Structure 1
Amino acid sequence: MSTRLRALGAVVAMVLLTGGCAAGTHPGAAAVVGGTEISINQVDKTSRAVSAALGNDYTSKFALSDLVTNVLAAQIQQEKSIPVSAAETAAAAKSAVGGDEATYQKFQTDSVSKDFLNAVATSVMVTVKLGGGTVQNLQDQAVLQKGTLAMRDASKSIDVTVAPRFGQWTDGQINSTISGSLSKESDQTKAKREATATPEPGQG
């Protein structure tokens, strides 16, 4: 199950979107999605707000991954003129938190977590509609799979760049094991340090 829906307790599958390189952002930017910038400050605020709503840690990596997906879905929605009503957004938002009314209400008490959940819900509805479904198909895996493939195809023309400190955007989430050259050099330095710290035969 995806990072987003595992964290929010939903059972629908998250879209798998194409990734971009781990370069191309400027200081203060966590990612750029088709020309739309996601700031580090926005990521931090989202992480804190969603953690409070969920009652457990929702890391910056999770937050950025979902923020990127939300922007991608919004751009695809606009390009394809896909209507999503307020009622559909509310239904998808409740589904995204596993139908837990108490958790849903916690998200509503803070503007950041509320906007984030609504964006998540909208992206799910866009996926469902691309799969030929309606709000009644939020749990329909066949519709979601079809929508996922359509979203992946639609996203191919949208560039995604992620700041090296977070990793790289791969298959719809942040892969923190892939980073920029500084991190790779750091790994090499670590390997050299570990090699020099190995005890000589007969020591220890």
Structure 2
Amino acid sequence: MNRTTGRRRWSVVSALLVAGVLVSGCTESPDAAAVVDGSKISRSTLEQSVTAAGEVLAGSGNTLSRDQVLTVLIQGEIAEHVAQQQGITITDADRDAELSEQALSVPAARDFVYDVADTSIMTKRLGEQQFAKLIAGSDVVVNPRYGSWQPGQSVTVIAGNGSLSQVLQQTP
């Protein structure tokens, strides 16, 4: 085997290893949209929440993109973890007080709008800057199909294009 053939094989092997890390390392399970501090947000939960958000916002002229909905789910999960860690109890009555009648009128959207409420409650209790630091410091891994998260910097999902092949093409 000559050096050129060996380099090509090594390049192919390297590309496959990088692809494997990107795909398998993106989440703990293939059906996860994101993993937050070890808690999985499933792809089905994301899709149900996208539909629910659409129902809540119907007629308002507003919409939420998939990455915005995933951001709400991630921040809600972090709010729940932080509340537990700090001994803060958030009741359904607390959540209901944060939400509009329109948000509460869609039963299928309950979990989604409660994530919105949890984030709002924790932001008010801890302060915006402190809660943003806790979000940025959380262990969040987003399935590249849905976007990305910049550890230590981001508090929102950075929209992707939904294509894993695009992610692989951008990898050096």
Counterpart residue type for residue 110 of structure 1: P
3-state secondary structure, aligned to 1:70: helix
8 A Cα contact 1:168 1:178, kept in partner: no
Give the TM-score taking structure 2 as reference length. Answer: 0.70
How many pairs align?
A: 142
CA deviation vs aligned residue, 1:133-183 (integer Å, no higher than 9, x gap): xxxxxxxxxxxxxx1221133345531000011111242211125999742
Structure 1 position 109 matched with structure 2 position 106: yes
Corresponding residue for residue 24 of structure 1: 26
Counterpart residue type for residue 109 of structure 1: V
The aligned runs of 1:54-203 (5 Å cut-off) are 54-55=57-58, 57-94=63-100, 101=101, 103-104=102-103, 107-111=104-108, 113-130=109-126, 147-155=127-135, 157-170=137-150, 171-177=154-160, 182-186=165-169
Counterpart residue type for residue 73 of structure 1: A
C-alpha distance in structure 2 between counterparts of 1:180 and 1:58, whole Å: 20
CA deviation vs aligned residue, 1:85-142 (integer Å, no higher than 9, x gap): 4333222112xxxxxx4x23xx43323x022112211221111111xxxxxxxxxxxx
C-alpha distance in structure 1 between counterparts of 2:170 and 2:137, whole Å: 33
Change (3 A) 1:155 1:63: closer
Q: Which runs of 5+ in 1 are unaligned?
A: 1-20, 95-100, 131-146, 189-204
Give the TM-score taking structure 1 as reference length. Answer: 0.60
C-alpha distance in structure 1 between counterparts of 2:99 and 2:159, whole Å: 27
CA deviation vs aligned residue, 1:49-83 (integer Å, no higher than 9, x gap): 11012115433222111101110111011111123
8 A Cα contact 2:50 2:66, kept in partner: yes
3-state secondary structure, aligned to 1:75: helix
Counterpart residue type for residue 30 of structure 1: A
Q: Which runs of 5+ in 2 are unaligned?
A: 1-21
Counterpart residue type for residue 36 of structure 2: V
